[in-house]
């Protein structure tokens, strides 16, 4: 299936604009946050215009409409990742909060001093810092699967670490820097063989190709709406029912309770147990609309298109003298191209590219340990999604040549 990229681009209003310099926008920063189609914008606008009210306990028309829309969005997200029950989808603020929810609830109830948790060297800070906090608090042990010179994980070391009997294995499905797509099905199976619980950071995978929680048999999957054409401020945690039901509440307040007395309370059932207070209702509606939109385009078609763009981008970038790419070959990665340019700081690269309307990321991308491993303070990063074209890659390459000329 081939995407009609021109038609897709027409559905994203922001892609029609010019930058402050009066040049067309070339948006190559979807790994940080994706742009939003009209279907999402209009769904949220319609909610605020027609159905805005607080959810659940209200019995008036607007409250019932808002509740129905919120819970329908949960069903859409469950369908998107093939969760068997919508109650297994917990709405959070983002991937970071989803991982923290697991760390503050399941982990604090189940991990004790000396217990081993396995992570990887390519993790985003959101899948490092919560476990560092738990290590300081509880004295758990952290070990890390190394990243090899080909930018893939060292699975032999992983197997040897599993021999130490970990209680938890938590890792990214796809690196936000390298683009490496990890063999999650095999890694989850091996973890389960030794009785470990698995947590997958799906922030970079769920938006870009089909992720099936039942096929993977994953215990927890965290992801964000804003990286999959949805709004900011909302994400999701999928969890197995058997684990979620035993976990203590995350935050205390309204809606997460079944009963409250002056000196005690009883927690609600899932998913309400983990959704204290008024949630991001309009954002949930937008999240559901984003899932509908991506499914209507086709996740397999999106994945194929991104692979073609990425392969083309890597070939073009490799042509540029002084550019060094970080990440595996195109067949082992998603739509990310992180690179350095000899003699030029990544921030300068990004700033000069912006003059021509080309938006890329520069920095450590919330993955400082990974950059330290390769002796880099930062990289420039171009990332691609369903709305990007080979012509935009050409503009990126032209811009890098301008950077080289500027610093010659």
Angle between helices 390-406 and 299-318 (to 10 degrees): 30
Q: Look up the CATH number of the domain holding residue 183.
A: 3.40.640.10
Retrieve residue 43's tokens.
């769904």
Q: What is the pLDDT of residue 21?
A: 86
How far is it, in rounded angstroms, from Cα 130 to Cα 104?
Answer: 8
Q: What is the pLDDT of residue 2?
A: 83
Domain end, chosen from 296, 321, 348, is at 296
Retrieve residue 95's tokens.
């991937």
Residue 241 belongs to domain spanning: 41-296
Do the domain assignments include residue 36? no
| Nearest CA among 213, 216, 225 for reference residue 95 | 225
| 213 & 99 share domain | yes
pTM: 0.97
| 291 & 302 share domain | no
Tokens 């990332």, located at residue: 383
Q: Is 90 helix (H, G, I), strand (E, B) or coil?
A: strand
Domain end, chosen from 296, 326, 345, is at 296
Q: What is the pLDDT of residue 20?
A: 86
Number of structural domains the chain divides into: 2
| 179 & 214 share domain | yes
229 catalytic residue (yes or no): no
Sign of CA dihedral 196, 250, 365, 304: positive
Neighbours of 391 (CB within 10 A): 10
**Burial label, 238 (beta-carbon count in 10 A; 0-12, 13-18, 19+):** buried
| 257 & 304 share domain | no
Which residue among the candidates 366, 369, 389, 407 is catalytic per the annotation? 366
Radius of gyration of the chain (CA): 22
| pLDDT profile of the chain (408 residues), mean per 10 | 92 96 96 98 98 93 97 98 98 98 98 98 98 98 98 98 98 98 98 98 98 98 98 98 97 94 95 97 98 98 97 98 97 97 96 97 96 94 98 98 93
| 371 & 291 share domain | no
The predicted-structure confidence for 263-301, as pLDDT tens digits, reads as follows 999 999 999 999 999 999 999 999 999 999 999 999 999
Neighbours of 296 (CB within 10 A): 8
Q: What is the pLDDT of residue 58?
A: 84
HSE (side-chain half, CA atoms, 13 Å) at 269: 5
| 156 & 198 share domain | yes
Domain end, chosen from 296, 327, 361, is at 296
């Amino acid at each position: 299936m081939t995407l009609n990229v021109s038609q897709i681009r027409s559905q994203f209003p922001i892609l029609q604009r010019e930058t402050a310099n009066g040049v067309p926008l070339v948006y190559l920063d979807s790994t940080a946050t994706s742009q939003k189609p009209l279907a999402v914008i209009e769904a949220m606008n319609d909610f605020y215009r027609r159905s805005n009210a607080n959810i659940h306990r209200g019995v008036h028309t607007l409250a019932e409409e808002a509740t129905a829309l919120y819970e329908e969005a949960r069903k859409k997200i469950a369908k998107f990742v093939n969760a068997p029950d919508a109650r297994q989808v917990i709405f959070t603020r983002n991937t970071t909060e989803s991982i923290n929810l697991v760390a503050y609830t399941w982990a604090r109830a189940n991990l004790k001093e000396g217990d081993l948790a396995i992570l990887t060297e390519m993790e985003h800070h959101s899948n490092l810092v919560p476990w560092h906090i738990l290590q300081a608090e509880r004295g758990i042990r952290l070990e890390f699967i190394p990243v090899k010179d080909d930018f893939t994980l060292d699975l032999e070391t992983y197997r040897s670490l599993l021999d130490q009997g970990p209680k938890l294995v938590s890792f990214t499905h796809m690196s936000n820097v390298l683009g490496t797509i990890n063999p999650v099905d095999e890694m989850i199976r091996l973890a389960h063989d030794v009785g470990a619980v698995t947590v997958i950071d799906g922030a970079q995978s769920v938006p870009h190709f089909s992720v099936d929680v039942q096929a993977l048999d994953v215990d927890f999957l965290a992801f964000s709406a804003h990286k999959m054409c949805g709004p900011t401020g909302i994400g999701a945690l999928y969890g197995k029912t058997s684990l979620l039901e035993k976990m203590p509440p995350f935050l205390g307040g309204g809606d997460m309770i079944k009963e409250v007395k002056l000196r005690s309370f009883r927690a609600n059932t899932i998913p309400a147990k983990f959704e204290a207070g008024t949630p991001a209702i309009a954002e949930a509606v937008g999240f559901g609309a984003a899932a509908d939109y991506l499914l209507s385009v086709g996740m397999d078609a999106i994945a194929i298109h991104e692979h073609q763009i990425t392969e083309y981008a890597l070939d073009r970038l490799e042509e540029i003298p002084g550019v060094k790419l970080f990440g595996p070959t195109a067949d082992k990665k998603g739509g990310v191209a992180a690179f350095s340019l000899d003699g030029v700081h990544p921030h300068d690269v990004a700033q000069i590219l912006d003059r021509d309307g080309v938006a890329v990321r520069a920095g450590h991308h919330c993955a400082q340990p990974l950059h330290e491993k390769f002796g880099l303070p930062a990289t420039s990063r171009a990332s691609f999604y369903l709305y990007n074209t080979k012509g935009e890659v050409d503009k990126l390459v032209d811009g890098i040549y301008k950077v080289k000329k500027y610093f010659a």
